[in-house]
Chain A
Amino acid sequence: GAVVSQHPSRVICKSGTSVKIECRSLDFQATTMFWYRQFPKQSLMLMATSNEGSKATYEQGVEKDKFLINHASLTLSTLTVTSAHPEDSSFYICSASGVSSYNSPLHFGNGTRLTVT
């Protein structure tokens, strides 16, 4: 089955630093990638949708200058949390779809647990 690799799985950083999270589709071309955030005991919250070669579409309330998304190829998307603060501590998950259709289920990376101290 389709595999999505996300790295790192866990990161601890100091307040004010930036953290980059990578999401790779290993055996298919991901035309669309999604970035989610999940706080404890809450559901997934979509942050942004990125299509290869174009700017990401951010959900309302998500600061595009703080959460930089780059989808430079059909197999790689990155999320950079800039000037991280403790309230950015969360579980970040990427997912990818191999076709431009929301009728296809998503394949998820294994998530990145970010802790900002």
Chain B
Amino acid sequence: RKEVEQDPGPFNVPEGATVAFNCTYSNSASQSFFWYRQDCRKEPKLLMSVYSSGNEDGRFTAQLNRASQYISLLIRDSKLSDSATYLCVVNSNYQLIWGAGTKLIIKP
């Protein structure tokens, strides 16, 4: 089992829809969690840190479920510009472990 797993997608979603990503991790002692966005042929950019209490930034909501060992990212009212690959990152034993990413394609 991979340390961090994501659905590879791609997710093809109509504009305006809500889309959810899940990311599972294997190390229960993992300490911190992040979502990054990566556009094609570009570097990853931090989207959100994920806090235990859950956090929201505009149309984006991130949640952490320690009991089930997963983090989620919800995008509401999706825009064409949301099309990208979304990567989850888990700090596990002082190493940053990257998921393989989920590709999102927003269709007009």
Interface residues of A (CB under 8 A from B): 6, 34, 42-44, 46, 91, 93, 102-103, 105-111, 113
Contacts and interface: CB of A to CB of B under 8 A. Distances in A.
Contacts of A6: 43
Interface of B: 31-32, 34, 41-46, 49, 87, 91, 94-96, 98-101
Interface SS of A by simple majority = loop
Contacts of B91: 102-103
Given A102-B91, A103-B91, A109 B43 contact: yes
Contacts of A108: 43-45
A95 B99 CA distance: 17
A9 B51 CA distance: 34
Nearest to A102: B91
Nearest to A108: B43
A111 B32 contact: no
Nearest to A40: B41
A102 B41 CA distance: 25
A107 B32 CA distance: 16
Given A46-B96, A91-B41, 20 more contacts: A6-B43, A34-B96, A43-B98, A43-B99, A43-B101, A44-B44, A44-B87, A44-B98, A46-B95, A102-B94, A102-B95, A103-B31, A105-B34, A105-B46, A105-B49, A107-B46, A108-B45, A109-B43, A110-B43, A111-B43
B40 to A, nearest CB: 10
Nearest to B49: A105
20 contacts: A43-B98, A43-B99, A43-B101, A44-B44, A44-B98, A46-B95, A46-B96, A46-B98, A91-B41, A102-B31, A102-B96, A103-B31, A103-B32, A103-B91, A105-B34, A106-B96, A109-B43, A110-B42, A111-B42, A111-B43
A82 to B, nearest CB: 24
A42 B49 CA distance: 22
